[in-house]
Amino acid sequence: MQTQRKRKLQDRRPRSTSLPSKSPTQSSKPIHDGDPYQTHHRPTPEECRAVRDDLLALHGFPREFSRYREQRQRKLGLVVEDEGEGREQSEAETALAGEEEAEEEESVLDGLVKTVLSQNTTDVNSQRAFASLKSAFPSWEDVLAAESTCIEDAIRCGGLAPTKAACIKNILTCLLEKRGKLCLEYLRDLSVGDIKAELSLFKGIGPKTVACVLMFHLQQDDFPVDTHVFEIAKTIGWIPTTADRNKAYLHLNQRIPSELKFDLNCLLFTHGKMCHRCGKRKDSQQCGKRKDSQHREESPGKACPLLNYCKNS
């Protein structure tokens, strides 16, 4: 009798059909999912815009990246404004601008090989290496059929010729085996995640190269982290001092607004080359304080605009 009464009481208890509520630790997905430094709240969107504007006022938009900027603007249906007017060009920039204007629209494969050739060398040398490669081998089929030593000879002016020749040869070989032709235009129809997965399959193609192809040659919103960007980001406190390049890439891509990524990346890269006080500094508090002959001003009479951000780091 007592057992039957217990069962009746249990049957009378209301049964909840709703899911259990989430505890504070089970809250919704964090805004910066995938960010290795979620507790590091810099840079803010406002800070990104301010740095972009400060560097744009100092340098103008770098002419070496103008053609890629115009491609992005055309894709968005926007009118391109030349914000580099009034700034004197260096001989290297003038030469590069002339070469780029004379070139036809480059393919994605061209862009990938250009990026490979740009590793660990100057812009001028990598451009010369690419031009030499295209002159020696009119088509990518010719490059694939050539001996590695011949490819090395063609790109030697860009440095690391054996390594880069092997990488290029491997890309072409894998591409032919997988796709049946030497073409990467199919990437234009893929998502950013799928593009990263595809390009990462090629031996010797790392995150920075993939990010550069995404940003420059596929007009996607991505933020490559090269040495200049990495050192400046660390100096002004945008990433922890213990950060490595790969984690910095993940963090900055989460924090920087998509619409600012292209301009900000090009400007930080340019500033890093021109302002020796902001790059490769272990002590961020010393930013802008050295004025010896080895640390030249990026513009006569103008202090480095990133000094204010160093104080906040």
Kindly list the catalytic residues.
Answer: 208
What value, to the nearest 5°, has the Cα angle with vertex 62 and ends 72 and 281?
115
Q: Are 54 and 265 in contact (CB under 8 A)?
A: no
Contacts of 166 (CB under 8 A, 6+ apart): 148, 204
Whether the CB-CB separation of 59 and 270 falls below 8 Å is answered with yes
CA distances from 189 to 76, 104, 182, 264 (A): 16, 21, 17, 26
Q: How far apart are CA 238 and CA 265, in angstroms?
A: 13
The whole-angstrom separation of Cα 306 and Cα 270 is: 13
Whole-angstrom distance, CA of residue 82 vs CA of residue 70 = 10
3-state percent breakdown (helix, strand, coil) of the chain, nearest 5? 60, 0, 40
User: The tokens 């009481």 sit on which residue?
Assistant: 9
Query: What's the CA gap between 160 and 162, in Å, rounded?
Result: 6
